[in-house]
């Protein structure tokens, strides 16, 4: 590591700088609790995206997603994680259902087109 005061190179285990004798600050520190709590995703964007597929499942997804940040701020980390998970599940259920319906719809159109081409007029 390098001294933050004079820039001299020091041993990683050194407490004070070999050149200027100033205490060396340990730059490598674990993430604070605040940073950890900020990492709980709300999945709000995903929930909003799912709204374009199936709005019925998007409603609980958005409700859970909107609760996440409030729960994090009030310190209910476990509840925030739970809400985050539920928001993600509801979002993907909605997107999954929406994609399934779109695929089925395209399939019906293709089958309908093939049948009409093959059938004598
Ligand atoms: Zn120094």
Rounded distance from Cα 19 to ligand 1 centre (Å):
5
pLDDT digits (tens, 9 = 90+) for 37-59: 558 899 999 999 999 988 899 99
Residues with CB under 5 A from ligand 1 (ion): 3, 5-6, 8, 17, 19-20
pLDDT digits (tens, 9 = 90+) for 72-97: 999 899 999 999 999 999 999 999 99
| pLDDT given for residue 119 in this prediction | 74
| pLDDT given for residue 33 in this prediction | 52
Are both 56 and 24 inside the same structural domain? Answer: no
Rounded distance from Cα 28 to ligand 1 centre (Å):
18
Cβ-proximal residues to 44 (8 Å cutoff; 6+ apart), any chain? 62, 65, 66, 68, 87
Are both 20 and 68 inside the same structural domain? Answer: no
Are both 57 and 111 inside the same structural domain? Answer: yes
Are both 24 and 38 inside the same structural domain? Answer: no
Are both 11 and 60 inside the same structural domain? Answer: no
| pLDDT given for residue 121 in this prediction | 63
Are both 62 and 101 inside the same structural domain? Answer: yes
Are both 42 and 60 inside the same structural domain? Answer: yes
Selected residue with higher pLDDT from 111 and 13: 111
Are both 17 and 37 inside the same structural domain? Answer: no
| Domains of the chain: total | 2
Are both 57 and 89 inside the same structural domain? Answer: yes
The mean pLDDT of 21-43, rounded to a whole number, is 67
What does the mean pLDDT of the chain come to?
87
Of the chain, the percentage scoring pLDDT greater than 90 comes to: 59
Nearest to 46 by CA among 78, 89, 97, 101: 89
Q: By residue range, what is the domain housing residue 90?
A: 33-118
């Amino acid at each position: 590591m390098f001294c933050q005061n004079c820039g001299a190179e020091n041993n990683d285990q050194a407490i004070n700088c070999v050149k200027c004798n100033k205490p060396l600050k340990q730059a490598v520190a674990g993430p604070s609790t605040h940073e950890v709590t900020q990492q709980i995703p709300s999945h709000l964007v995903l929930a909003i995206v799912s709204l374009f597929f199936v709005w019925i499942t998007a409603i609980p997804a958005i409700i859970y997603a909107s609760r996440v940040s409030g729960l994090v701020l009030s310190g209910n980390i476990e509840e925030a994680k739970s809400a985050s998970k539920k928001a993600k599940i509801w979002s993907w259920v909605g997107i999954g259902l929406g994609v399934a319906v779109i695929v089925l719809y395209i399939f019906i159109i293709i089958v309908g087109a093939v049948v009409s081409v093959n059938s004598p007029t």
